Amino acid sequence: MKQVYLDNAATTALRPEVIERMTEVLKDNFGNPSSTHSFGRSSKSLLEQCRKNVANHFNVSAAEIIFTSGGTEADNLALRSAVRDLGVTHIITSKIEHHAILHTIEQLQKEYELKLSYVNLDECGLVNYTHLEELIKSNDKTLVSLMHINNEIGNILNLELVGKLCKEHGALFHSDTVQSIGHYKLDLNAVPIDFLAASAHKFHGPKGVGFCFIRKESGLKPLIFGGEQERGYRAGTESIHNIAGLDEALKIAYSNLDEDKAYILELKQHFIQCLKAEIPTVRFNGGCEDKVNSTYTLVNVCLPIEASKAPMLQFQLDLKGIACSKGSACQSGSSQQSHVLSAILDNENLQKPSIRFSFSVFNTKEELDYVIQVLADFVNS
């Protein structure tokens, strides 16, 4: 059966070079990086080289990169410690953040006295920066946590502007950059962000590894206690083959960035144009059609289908070998409505099926044409 993978915001295929590098490390660098003998020293040196490489992409020092088990852990580390150790009493976020943020904040509210503010969004889900500034002006010790790229609708946050506002008003700034690291370059020397979270499996690296950028002298403390790994920030023997895989995937992502970006953007535009031609009443959720404020990697499509036909759509796509997603991967199996779409759509549009298609450099226009035909046949049947 023909198979088309268009769920790259959920996870990406490993690049062959990444598999090769990881296999080598699994064979040749099995020593524990904390051991002092030659096996351990060799793993330690590899680990520190990976850290330096990662740090160099963002123009920060190696000491500011802490490897974690992925994006969720990095988000938890930053949010939890900001409240527990840095005295944060007010968190400003948005209703369309990933659950790694929203559920962590919910839990923190149960444990600490915490004021929570949601920034206003426009009808496309873009942050209202004037309202954000009003919220930041409060006299509380504040942390702003806003994602760079939304994983469901692809909206882009103006990191520079938010960083500047936070700095001006003495607030800390954390950004969930899980959907942007490996897809956008960031100079953290120029952008005042205190903490960010990244995950390797979103840029053709392995699952179960990511990192947290923690700005020097921020005072952040560990989430996981135990040994002295990761300079005491994150106990537990480092997953050295995963870290090497992350390093390799990031290196390739950034060295091919301009070319890959242009290729994927063309796929996205082709998808939008052809879908509109086949299904003129199709709508795109969020700012998907906005060339400045939307990522090149995904579209969220609202199809003009009666509610009674909607449950068949995902089934039909799956039957035709098309992998896409109803919301974030963590919610795909759930019958609950996407919290992101609920925050921005009116009731009428919320009843129509919305599907996220997310692209990678491994996709082709022919694959997209096939998907468009399947969608058009379904809508017109």
Name the nearest CA neighbour of 290 among 265, 309, 257, 308: 265
Q: How far apart are CA 155 and CA 54, in angstroms?
A: 25
CB of 258 to ligand PLP, least distance (A): 24
Q: Which of 179, 294, 295, 297 binds ligand PLP (CB under 6 A)?
A: 179
Give the per-residue contact string, 143-172, with ligand PLP (x = CB under 6 A; - = no).
----x---x---------------------
CA 116 to chain centre: 22
Q: Under a CB-based contact definition with an 8 Å cutoff, are residues 336 and 14 in contact?
A: no
CA 309 to chain centre: 31
Q: Which is nearer to ligand PLP, 12 or 72 (CB)?
A: 72
CB of 155 to ligand PLP, least distance (A): 11
Q: Which is nearer to ligand PLP, 44 or 174 (CB)?
A: 174
300 binds ligand PLP (CB under 6 A): no
| Region near ligand PLP per CB under 6 A, out of 12-20, 109-117, 173-181, 292-300 | 173-181
Give the per-residue contact string, 198-237, with ligand PLP (x = CB under 6 A; - = no).
-x----------x---------------------------
Q: Which is nearer to ligand PLP, 156 or 375 (CB)?
A: 156
Is-catalytic flag, 166? no
325 binds ligand PLP (CB under 6 A): no
**Active-site residue identified among 212, 302, 324, 330:** 330
Give the per-residue contact string, 65-104, with ligand PLP (x = CB under 6 A; - = no).
-----xxx-------------------------x-x----
367 binds ligand PLP (CB under 6 A): no
Name the nearest CA neighbour of 151 among 78, 94, 207: 94
CB of 330 to ligand PLP, least distance (A): 6
CB of 308 to ligand PLP, least distance (A): 31
Q: How far apart are CA 277 and CA 298, in angstroms?
A: 19
Q: Under a CB-based contact definition with an 8 Å cutoff, are residues 271 and 372 in contact?
A: yes
Environment class of 133 (CB within 10 Å of its CB; exposed 0-12, middle 13-18, buried 19+)? middle
In total, the chain counts a number of residues equal to: 381
CA 237 to chain centre: 25
175 binds ligand PLP (CB under 6 A): no
Q: Under a CB-based contact definition with an 8 Å cutoff, are residues 252 and 15 in contact?
A: yes
CB of 45 to ligand PLP, least distance (A): 26
Q: Under a CB-based contact definition with an 8 Å cutoff, are residues 88 and 218 in contact?
A: no
Sign of CA dihedral 147, 152, 156, 161: negative
Q: How far apart are CA 211 and CA 186, in angstroms?
A: 15
Strand partners, 174: 145, 195
Q: Which is nearer to ligand PLP, 38 or 336 (CB)?
A: 336
Q: Catalytic positions, please? A: 330
Using CB under 6 A as the criterion, which residues of the chain lie in contact with ligand PLP when the complex forms? 70-72, 98, 100, 147, 151, 176, 178-179, 199, 210, 328-329
